[in-house]
Amino acid sequence: MKVGLVYDPVYLKHDTGQHVENARRLEATISHLEQTQLKQQLTLLKPRAASAEEISLIHHNQYISHIRDVAQRGGGWLDVDTVMSPDSYQAAIYAAGGAIRASEAVMNGEVGSAFALVRPPGHHATSQRAMGFCLFNNAAIAAKYALAKYKLDRVIIIDFDVHHGNGTQAAFYDNPQVLYVSTHQYPFYPGTGGIEETGSGAGKGTTINIPLPAGCGDAEYLQAFEQIIVPAARRFNPQFIMVSAGYDLHWADEIALMQVSTNGFAQMVQIIKGLADELCNGRLVFSLEGGYHLQALAYSVKATLDVLLGNANIEDPLGQPPHRFQAPNITHLIRTIKEIHNLF
């Protein structure tokens, strides 16, 4: 099956200066995909701008206008972490539109699966607040768009970024149509994502948080995936899988304290792809969130695409963590989460 890649130079126009979330992230990734000749194996998908109506599936109209106005006034800081330049609004509506475009291409059968290589990232953005480098919640907008446009009943969002996707969780907290599952370092930014946050009202049980202690590596993430995400996904039986794909849990990424390798990402993606193939005709979309070590990001996005393409050889030039400290034992934590969600 074809694998789609959504990319456009418009994403480089969100100019954050010396910020860790900067245009070089995508430049390094695209250039690695070109140098390794992986790009030519992909079906390139041109993003469009998301309409105000589409963005308002998740965000308040006043907030959308505010983001547009800040850009028109020349940009500025929205909170201590999140900055805008004059072209950031345009990049942001194309980032949301990119996740939508990837979802459309998968849903209408143009491609089997797709990766939206977009920025600014999205999963911290709430209905009326920019935070954590995020302006509009690309994955949440695309998931809600897919639910409405294709009349779906069940979508899973798997969020493996090292930070908890508070914006995505909030968007679907009481919504039984979206199962939000997140692995993240905890306690850590943004502070949400405890095991007791499981959804509310009709959405009770459709939020699953897997808050992991610092130091987790490939083995611990695979344990969480196999023991919680796989049975939870099978029980929910999704029609479409969206992934908030952050690569800031790589051991070389200094924004957090996890120990995952590029090969570990490949194994996690293999599990997710297996679920999509088993449960929903392979319908699977990845939308980029974090990942701030340029090489780790580029190698790990390539590994993700290699797995989606079915390529056997995964290159991991950075290898395993060099001074691997004792990984935490998460067996008890996993058992507790399984008990909370009746996953036995």
Residues in the site for Zn ion, rule: CB under 5 A?
161, 163, 246, 248, 290
Q: Rounded to whole angstroms, what are the CA distances from 306 to 40, 134, 157, 216, 289? A: 12, 27, 21, 24, 19
Report the residue number, 112 or 217, with the smaller CB distance to Zn ion.
217
Preceding omega of 121 cis (within 30 degrees of 0)? no
Least separation in angstroms between CB 293 and Zn ion? 12
* Chain centre distance of CA 204: 22
Active site residue 124: yes
* Residue 43, strand partner residues: 4
Cβ atoms of 300 and 306 within 8 Å: the answer is no
User: Nearest-CA neighbor of 329 among 219, 231, 246, 241?
Assistant: 219
DSSP 63: H
Q: Rounded to whole angstroms, what are the CA distances from 226 to 192, 241, 244, 267? A: 23, 16, 18, 11
| The one catalytic residue among 59, 123, 124, 163 | 124
Cβ atoms of 253 and 235 within 8 Å: the answer is no
Report the residue number, 126 or 239, with the smaller CB distance to Zn ion.
126
Neighbours of 111 (CB within 10 A): 22
Amino acid of residue 137: N
Edge-to-edge strand ranges of the sheet holding 178-185: 43-45, 3-6, 113-116, 284-288, 240-245, 155-159, 178-185, 207-212
Q: Which residues carry out catalysis?
A: 124
